[in-house]
Amino acid sequence: MRLPPEPVDAITPEPVYRDRRRLLAGLASLPALALSACGRAEPAMPQARIDPARVRAGFATDEPPTREADATSYNNFYEFGTGKADPARAPRTLRTAPWSVAVGGHCARPGLVPLETLLQGLAVQERIYRMRCVEGWSMVIPWRGVPLGEVLRRFEPTAQAKYVAFTSLADPVQMPGVRVPVLDWPYREGLRIDEAMHPLTLLATGMYGKPLPQQNGAPLRLVVPWKYGFKGIKSIVAIDFVERMPRTSWNRAQPSEYGFFANVNPAVDHPRWSQKTERRIAGNGGNLFAERIPTRPFNGYADQVAALYAGMDLRRWY
């Protein structure tokens, strides 16, 4: 294991340094653990075989979709305010064209790529996914987009690309919420490379048969239906292939409440509330008192994705 060089002003006293080396060496020798540059442990990546027929069963659902009016007016997009109604009410200040995404890190073909080029030649697909927010509400949304894996492969990630880091635009002129330090802007998210390459993971450009509205993350956002909604980063401007588990906004703000993996899991409660049930906003007009339904492991996509986490303790890696 290589450690990054220490900056001169961070030189550690010798005994502390030796103790730390010993601790790090001990941790690294534990099976199924690697150590990131900032000293956090990371679980080993299981080698999962993905069965395409099984995965296809997750591309749609018979459950009634959420009304478009609700899905586009009850949002989390703090760059446009912290209230659920704020993003939809915000003036249309986001300039979504031209839009480019900077792709970099461990890949053979990095570059600043116009959105049209990023998606060129890829068939846009329609997917109907259940979406579960960590706050306890859920929706069923007809998305349109391209599998993220097909986009990422174009950049030829190298063997060092173990994770993918995503960054949102953070322009205080276009996004008034960024003037308020409620999060450490820009909004950041990340996936392990196998999660990013999984065929259920969508780079969405539209919903309800139309381009994404500003409040839902125009012009480009992530949709990962087996994870809590905060992983679905909006208005993406950068994608980086990285070797270590990247820092993410909510994990950084409240690590005990928002894990890196954030797989929907009714068996692991949020420290301040249960995750066993959810309030489904579907055809009931965003009714706060809508009947609660049981939450399923991996949001009902266990058949498609549970193999990605074989052998991992999902209480530890929440």
Q: Are strands 125-132 and 137-147 parallel, antiparallel or unpaired?
A: antiparallel
According to the binding rule CB under 6 A, does residue 76 interact with ligand MTE? Answer: yes
Could you say which of 34, 35, 133, 238 contacts ligand MTE (CB under 6 A)? 133
- Does the footprint of ligand MTE cover residue 101 (CB under 6 A)? no
Among 43, 58, 70, 77, binds ligand MTE (CB under 6 A): 77
Residues found in the chain: 318
| Piece of the chain touching ligand MTE by CB under 6 A; list 71-79, 96-104, 195-203, 296-304 | 71-79
Among the residue ranges 77-85, 96-104, 107-115, 254-262, the one whose residues contact ligand MTE (CB under 6 A)? 77-85
- In angstroms, the CA 242 to CA 181 distance is 27
Of 77 and 309, which has the nearer Cβ to ligand MTE?
Answer: 77
Distance between CA 55 and CA 110 in Å, rounded? 29
Q: Which stretch binds ligand MTE (CB under 6 A): 69-77, 120-128, 293-301, 302-310?
A: 69-77
Residue nearest to ligand MTE (CB): 229
CB under 6 A: which stretch of 17-25, 114-122, 232-240, 251-259 binds ligand MTE? Answer: 232-240
Q: Smallest gap, in angstroms, from Cβ of residue 46 to ligand MTE?
A: 27
The whole-angstrom separation of Cα 231 and Cα 55 is: 20
229 contacts ligand MTE (rule: CB under 6 A): yes
Binds ligand MTE (CB under 6 A): choice among 143, 166, 187, 241: 187
First and final C-alpha spacing in the chain: 25
Could you give the CA distance from residue 245 to residue 45 in angstroms, rounded to a whole number? 12
Q: Which is nearer to ligand MTE, 76 or 275 (CB)?
A: 76
In the stretch 190-219, what mask flags binding to ligand MTE with x, by CB under 6 A?
--------------------------x---
Q: Which is nearer to ligand MTE, 163 or 185 (CB)?
A: 185
Q: Dmax of the chain from CA atoms? A: 64
Report how far residue 218's alpha carbon sits from residue 4's, in angstroms, rounded to the nearest whole number: 37
User: According to CB under 6 A, which one of 35, 58, 66, 78 is a site residue for ligand MTE?
Assistant: 78
Binding segment (CB under 6 A) for ligand MTE, from list 42-50, 62-70, 228-236, 305-313: 228-236
Determine the interface stretch with ligand MTE among 2-10, 154-162, 230-238, 289-297 (rule: CB under 6 A). 230-238
CB of residue 41 to ligand MTE, shortest distance in Å: 26
Asked whether the beta carbons of 131 and 229 are under 8 A apart, the reply is yes
Q: Which is nearer to ligand MTE, 155 or 230 (CB)?
A: 230
- The torsion angles phi and psi of 269, rounded to 5 degrees, stand at -75, 150
Q: Kindly provide the residue ranges of all beta strands, DSSP E only, lying in the chain, ordered along the sequence.
A: 33-35, 41-43, 100-105, 111-114, 125-132, 137-147, 163-168, 188-192, 202-207, 210-211, 221-223, 236-242, 277-280, 292-294
Applying CB under 6 A, which of residues 99, 155, 185, 230 lies at the interface with ligand MTE? 230
Separation between Cα atoms, residue 85 and residue 173, nearest integer Å: 20
295 binds ligand MTE (CB under 6 A): no
161 close to 106: Cβ distance less than 8 angstroms: yes
* CA 130 – CA 302 distance, rounded (Å): 13
Structure tokens at 276: 């066993």
Residues 122, 146 contacting (CB under 8 angstroms): yes
DSSP character at residue 108:
S
Task: Summarize as ranges the residues that interact with ligand MTE (CB under 6 A).
Answer: 75-79, 133, 168, 187, 216, 229-230, 232-235
